[in-house]
Amino acid sequence: MLILVVDDDAAVRRIARAALEGAGYEVLEAEGGEAALRELREHVPTPQILLTDIVMPGMNGLTLAALVHRQVPGIRVIFMSGFVDDYRVELTGSVCLRKPFTIAQLLATVRGAETAC
């Protein structure tokens, strides 16, 4: 399973990548929305899961997810944020992971999204 991790915080990306790869997932990463869209255009096969922060400079995660969902309708989206309650997340097939999270919480959330794929 291929996961695209998007967060403007390099430490969050690094930790998520290490945890996910340690659990056997393939991981692409991007520091923001534009970089994520580039990864999506340039990478084959297409990721099955988008793991994205909501609050990022430039394009936020909600906008990114809507754009990605148009290109890859079946993609599962996991939003990460310390501000989950401040946003209405209405994208079909999406779940939220509240920051800060543990590795166990991250992996459980991804496994839940994976079984829905």
What's the pLDDT tens digit per position in 1-35? 999 999 999 999 999 999 999 999 999 999 999 99
User: Is a pLDDT exceeding 80 seen at residue 107?
Assistant: yes
- pTM score of the predicted model: 0.90
Comparing 64 with 97, the larger pLDDT belongs to: 64
Name the CATH architecture for the domain at 2-116: 3-Layer(aba) Sandwich (3.40)
Output the pLDDT for position 115. 75
The residue-averaged pLDDT of 49-64 equals 94
User: Which among 65, 82, 73 is positioned nearest to 6, based on CA atoms?
Assistant: 65
Q: What does the domain layout of the chain look like in residue ranges?
A: 2-116
